[in-house]
């Protein structure tokens, strides 16, 4: 049982990220001081959305230059913090060098942050942003769990440095975090495992994978058909809320799957068509698997991803997050409509 004092500053790594922004927003609105560890502190455009939130709230924000691959990089930003949110970790589906772009930053970054935690006596709790990618590697893995439903007890055992590389990066990073936590008894670890995160971005002009997907649903890239893929989906606002509740609920412990529901891409398209009509080239049919495999490199995904994910479905048991973190999930339909509308408003579709 860990009591966190809200008068103390809180460290958020990767604070300008898609999910991290909503964590920062929630903290600032509670009047908490945020120590934001980011790269390129001097790039005001990158952080202006956070500055705006800070100016309109009771909390304060202070920026610190930090790099996942630089040992000791988070030491200064962690001073006096009881709570650390480690969100910084790259997310690419089409990385050119997975070891350099995904695995090293996720694994070594987690080690560097937790090494600083071990050297910072004030820290009582770390909340790590992991992923359901640390629970399963590809949707074909659903064949190996009862009724195709994953829960927090399951670990991804199928991914490798050359197959489902992102999933591998999240798995080894989370396992390393639990190992480091288990070697001491001063601070505890709570892990958030979101499914595919969609929903309004605080900085819609930044580049992130969820944005790429939603823009493709409306810009014509997928008008000839979408892959037959069914994934767990969760609203970014719920993910932010889950982090905050995991940080400040004294009884929070272990891993938490954060997923509203599972939905296939065609159903997402149907919801968008119902809301926006035929103003945009929203996909109306499923593309044959062989065709998706052929064009995969052109739409930014790898062919082995197509082979192991198209035609399968995954489902998640989110009971623990509802009971222990009090998450009231936003329906996926509302999430995708709000997300798509944001890109219309910003003239990105």
- Does the active-site annotation cover 323? no
The two structure tokens encoding residue 168: 């591998």
| Residue 314 φ then ψ, to 5° | -125, 150
What order of strands is seen across the sheet that includes strand 261-264?
196-198, 230-235, 261-264
Enumerate the β-bridge partners of residue 35. Answer: 11, 62
Residues 137 and 179: their CA atoms lie apart, in Å, by 21
List of residues 6+ apart from 181 with CB closer than 8 A: 114, 126, 187, 188, 189
Point out the catalytic residue in the list 170, 211, 230, 333: 170
Residue 42, classified by CB atoms within 10 Å of its CB into exposed (0-12), middle (13-18) or buried (19+), is exposed
Which residues, in sequence order, are CB contacts of 274 under 8 Å at separation 6+? none
Are 31 and 58 within 8 A, CB to CB?
yes
Catalytic residues: 170
């Amino acid at each position: 049982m860990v009591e966190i004092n809200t008068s103390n500053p809180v460290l958020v790594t990767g604070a300008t990220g898609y999910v991290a922004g909503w964590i920062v927003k929630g903290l600032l609105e509670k009047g908490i001081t945020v120590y934001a560890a980011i790269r390129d502190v001097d790039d005001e455009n990158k952080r202006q959305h956070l500055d705006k939130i800070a100016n309109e709230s009771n909390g304060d924000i202070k920026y610190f230059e930090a790099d996942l691959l630089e040992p000791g990089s988070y030491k200064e930003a962690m001073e006096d913090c009881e709570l650390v949110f480690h969100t910084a970790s790259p997310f690419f589906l089409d990385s050119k060098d997975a070891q350099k772009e995904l695995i090293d930053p996720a694994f070594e970054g987690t080690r560097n942050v937790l090494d600083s935690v071990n050297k910072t006596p004030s820290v009582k709790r770390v909340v790590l942003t992991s992923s359901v990618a640390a629970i399963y590697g590809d949707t074909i893995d659903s064949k190996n769990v009862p009724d195709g439903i994953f829960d927090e007890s399951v670990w991804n055992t199928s991914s490798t440095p050359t197959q489902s590389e992102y999933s591998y990066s999240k798995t080894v990073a989370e396992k390393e975090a639990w190992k480091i936590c288990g070697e001491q008894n001063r601070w505890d670890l709570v892990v958030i495992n979101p499914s595919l995160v969609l929903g309004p971005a605080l900085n819609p002009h930044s580049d992130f994978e969820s944005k790429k997907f939603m823009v493709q649903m409306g810009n014509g890239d997928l008008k000839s058909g979408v892959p037959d893929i069914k994934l767990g989906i969760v609203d970014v606002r719920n993910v932010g809320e889950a982090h905050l509740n995991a940080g400040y609920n004294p009884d929070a412990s272990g891993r938490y799957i954060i997923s509203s529901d599972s939905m296939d891409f065609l159903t997402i398209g149907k919801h968008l068509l119902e809301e926006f009509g035929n103003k945009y080239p929203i996909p109306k049919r499923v593309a044959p698997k062989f065709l998706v495999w052929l064009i995969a490199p052109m739409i930014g995904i790898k062919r082995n991803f197509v082979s192991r994910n198209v035609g399968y479905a995954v489902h998640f048991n989110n009971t623990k997050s509802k009971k222990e973190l009090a998450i009231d999930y936003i329906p996926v339909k509302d999430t995708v409509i709000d997300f798509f509308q944001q890109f219309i408003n910003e003239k990105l579709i």
